[in-house]
Amino acid sequence: MALIGFMEFFSKGKTFRPKKKFNPGTLRYSLHKQAQASLSSGINLRSVVQLPEGEELNDWIAVHVVDFFNRIALIYGTVSEYCTEETCQTMSGGPRFEYLWEDGHKYKKPTAFPAPQYIALLMDWVEAQINNETMFPVSTDVPFPRTFIPLCRKILKRLFRVFVHVYIHHFDRIVAIGAEPHVNTCYKHFYYFVREFDLVNTKELEPLKEMTAHICRDQSPTPQNSTDTPNK
């Protein structure tokens, strides 16, 4: 499929929450536009995710975390009316995988929720992280904290679970509205990015392993990160 169609889908589609945007004139905005231009040009996705020469890794990761948050929110928005507490009583990815919510504040212990409630909590949490200027500095004069990469790993790990739930429980809806090529492209972009920079544990990627092998055929071996627990 044409990547231009993918970009049009993600620029026109409705999301179930406001998009996070970069301020024009900033370095992050420039990087965001550079990433968008590369993605819509038809370049191989494995090349698109690579760090541009001369750019800082943290800036590149920050831009992609925000972009992935926006796109995954949109993807879920296309199926959200079919994802209810009655149809999706647990946040799962098939019978082998159930995700529990823990945020260290209101929910200090892993807690089970129906999928729509879990995803709402997840998106609220991610939005709070990327809007926190001490964690995601707006100005390049402000350094990223040492905890930035670990936080991004947690954000991306949790966003991946929305892909899991949508693919396993709502893919029929994605196909019905003709969004399958667009969602697949978004997933491939996400997958190549997190593997390029070792940002998601391979254990977390297990629920979509077979599908990934089918649509991401130019995979290459990547190091494993075993620091995350799979259900929080």
Q: Which two tokens stand for residue 70?
A: 């926006």
Residues marked as binding for Zn(2+)? 83, 88, 165, 170
Name 52's Cβ contacts closer than 8 Å, sequence gap at least 6.
Answer: 31, 34, 60
Closest CA to 102 of 118, 114, 89, 91: 118
Residues marked as binding? 83, 88, 165, 170
131-144 b/e with 16+ CB inside 10 Å = b?
A: eeeebbbeeeeeeb
| Residues pairing with 101 in the sheet | 111
Sign of the CA dihedral running 56, 149, 195, 5:
negative
72-82 b/e with 16+ CB inside 10 Å = b?
A: bbbbbebbbee
CB neighbourhood size of 4 (10 A): 12
